[in-house]
């Protein structure tokens, strides 16, 4: 199969006249002739405007937990339209959904809704600063927490001289005030000694520790339970609010998210993505004493928070995730996909490992799974980078960048996606081996 992207290419040229890069998010631009425009999505599949069909493993970066256009959620959303939108006032359903979230995630003693992951993490960080009385925060190297200035800093391991201490910290974007850099500290994942050292030296300034224990934006690299426990204790010791960013892991890797999986409780946690199966809604939740600061000195709000459509969609999505075996189905499919891919790679002697959770797997071309972002350098990411475009040609849509995991939705398990994906994967691996000879 050779994909024809004639209409997408034409659309791209047209869109460039009105939209920077021809898209509405920088990450949707895949190059002059590779930027695709979607006609529709259904279940685990997408169709572009040229009629190419894809089994999608990006699932919009995670929101698609059940599948696109899930009829159960969409019917709830239609009912939500009837409620009337937003009123700058509250509705009864907010309590019902908050109650469900608290039941599923014990750390979520109190809940506030927002619209996006970015907004939820911004609110959590503000709350943490107010609670601790300290303005700085720690981010784990390779972590991503949204598009706001306090967190748009990254450890530049690609430009890193490993003999010269820690990797340099760079802004993700122009336009971010350099003075904000002073507020952000970085730590490699799974190195409790490093974290302890950092806190010993700077705990007077550090009010928050932001962590994705499965790094949903970094190959799904996973914290060990011991590391998370050590971090939990250090946060307690140094009066640092532990913010667990579950924007990707939440309601995906377990009903109670990564906190259930690893058996610990955050002070604050943030959710988005899977809550509404694609409808825009997010949550900041956590310890009652901290959360009650909203309304007691700390601002939180937003015109569109708890829009009746998104809220109704979230109510239905969470009901399904809580009360059916959807998450077991997703994990089962993810496990079978890993096994199938593992066999194809193993039969050819290609070193590889899978990291994270089967519902959001990182595929890593090295025998030993990475334990932090620095380890990603030791992966053969050239292999992934060459293979991903081959998969796109064959109708399997994974992220072109190897740092993004493969997201599974319930609908993948309901058709012949597995067999089709593995057949495409085998071909793509063969082509990649040829290309890299
Ligand atoms: N936190 C994490 C862990 C995320 O993965 C993302 C989005 N990829 C965000 C925050 C930001 O969410 P949003 O794009 O909805 O603003």
Distance CA 319, CA 268 (A): 23
pLDDT over threshold 70, residue 180:
yes
> What is the 324 CA–ligand 1 centroid distance (Å)?
26
Overall average pLDDT of the 143-148 stretch: 97
State the closest ligand 1 atom to the C-alpha of 146, by its place in the atom list counted from 1. Answer: 11
pLDDT over threshold 60, residue 153:
yes
Band the pLDDT of 320: cuts 50, 70, 90: very high
In the chain, pLDDT over 70 holds for what percent of residues?
Answer: 100
pLDDT at 2: 76
**Residue from 58, 146, 208, 271 to probe ligand 1 pocket by mutation (most atoms less than 8 Å from CB):** 146
Band the pLDDT of 161: cuts 50, 70, 90: confident
Band the pLDDT of 8: cuts 50, 70, 90: very high
H or E segment to which residue 406 belongs: strand 406-407
pLDDT digits (tens, 9 = 90+) for 108-145: 999 999 999 999 999 999 999 999 999 999 999 999 99
Band the pLDDT of 403: cuts 50, 70, 90: confident
State the closest ligand 1 atom to the C-alpha of 121, by its place in the atom list counted from 1. Answer: 10
pLDDT over threshold 60, residue 67:
yes
H or E segment to which residue 56 belongs: strand 53-56
**Residue 232 contacts residue 195 (beta carbons within 8 Å):** no
Overall average pLDDT of the 156-183 stretch: 92
pLDDT at 210: 98
**80 or 159, which is more confident?**
80
What does the mean pLDDT of the chain come to? Answer: 96
Distance CA 131, CA 126 (A): 9
pLDDT at 148: 97
In the chain, pLDDT over 90 holds for what percent of residues?
Answer: 93
pLDDT over threshold 80, residue 378:
no
**Residue from 212, 248, 304 to probe ligand 1 pocket by mutation (most atoms less than 8 Å from CB):** 248
pLDDT digits (tens, 9 = 90+) for 13-32: 999 999 999 999 999 999 99
State the closest ligand 1 atom to the C-alpha of 217, by its place in the atom list counted from 1. Answer: 5
In Å, how far are 68, 76, 316, 368 from 71, measured between CA atoms?
9, 9, 11, 41
Overall average pLDDT of the 308-331 stretch: 98
> What is the 309 CA–ligand 1 centroid distance (Å)?
21
At 73, list the tokens: 């959620």
Distance CA 194, CA 237 (A): 15
pLDDT at 380: 78
271 phi and psi angles, rounded to 5 deg = -135, 155
Distance CA 147, CA 122 (A): 9
Residues lining ligand 1, CB < 6 A?
A: 61, 116-118, 121, 144-146, 212, 216-217, 245, 247-248, 272
pLDDT at 52: 98
Band the pLDDT of 377: cuts 50, 70, 90: confident
pLDDT at 1: 54
């Amino acid at each position: 199969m050779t994909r024809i992207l004639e209409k997408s290419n034409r659309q791209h040229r047209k869109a460039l006249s009105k939209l920077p890069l021809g898209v509405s998010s920088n990450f949707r631009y895949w190059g002059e002739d590779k930027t695709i425009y979607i006609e529709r999505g259904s279940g685990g599949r997408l169709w572009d405007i040229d009629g190419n069909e894809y089994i999608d493993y990006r699932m919009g970066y995670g929101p698609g937990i059940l599948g696109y256009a899930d009829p159960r959620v969409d019917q709830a959303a239609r009912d939500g339209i009837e409620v009337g939108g937003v009123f700058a006032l509250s509705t009864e359903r907010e309590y019902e959904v908050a109650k469900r979230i608290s039941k599923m995630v014990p750390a979520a003693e109190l809940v506030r809704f927002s619209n996006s992951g970015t907004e939820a993490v911004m609110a959590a960080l503000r709350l943490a600063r107010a609670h601790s009385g300290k303005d700085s925060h720690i981010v784990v190297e390779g972590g991503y927490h949204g598009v706001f200035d306090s967190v748009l800093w990254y450890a530049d391991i690609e430009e890193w001289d490993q003999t010269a201490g820690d990797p340099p910290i760079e802004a993700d974007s122009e336009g971010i005030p350099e003075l904000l850099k002073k507020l952000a500290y970085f730590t490699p994942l799974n190195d409790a000694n490093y974290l302890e050292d950092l806190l010993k030296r700077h705990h007077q300034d550090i009010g928050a520790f932001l962590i994705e224990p499965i790094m949903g934006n970094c190959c799904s690299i996973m914290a060990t339970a011991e590391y998370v426990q050590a971090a939990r204790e250090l946060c307690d010791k140094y009066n640092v609010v532990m913010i667990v960013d579950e924007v990707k892991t939440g309601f995906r890797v377990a009903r109670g998210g990564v906190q259930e999986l690893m058996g610990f409780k955050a002070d604050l946690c943030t959710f988005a993505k899977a809550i509404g199966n694609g409808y825009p809604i997010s949550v900041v939740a956590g310890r009652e004493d901290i959360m009650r600061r909203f309304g007691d000195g700390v601002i939180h709000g937003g015109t569109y928070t708890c829009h009746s459509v998104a809220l109704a969609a979230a109510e239905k999505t969470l009901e399904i995730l809580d009360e059916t075996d959807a998450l077991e189905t997703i994990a089962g499919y993810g496990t079978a996909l890993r096994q199938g891919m593992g066999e194809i790679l193993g039969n050819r002697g290609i070193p590889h490992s899978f990291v994270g959770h089967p519902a959001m797997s990182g595929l890593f071309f090295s025998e030993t799974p990475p334990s932090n972002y620095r380890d990603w350098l030791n992966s053969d990411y050239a292999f992934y980078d060459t293979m991903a475009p081959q998969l796109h040609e064959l109708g399997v849509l994974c992220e072109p960048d190897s740092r993004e995991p493969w997201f599974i939705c319930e609908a993948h398990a309901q058709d012949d996606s597995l067999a089709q994906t593995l057949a495409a994967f085998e071909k793509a691996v063969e082509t990649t081996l040829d290309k890299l000879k």
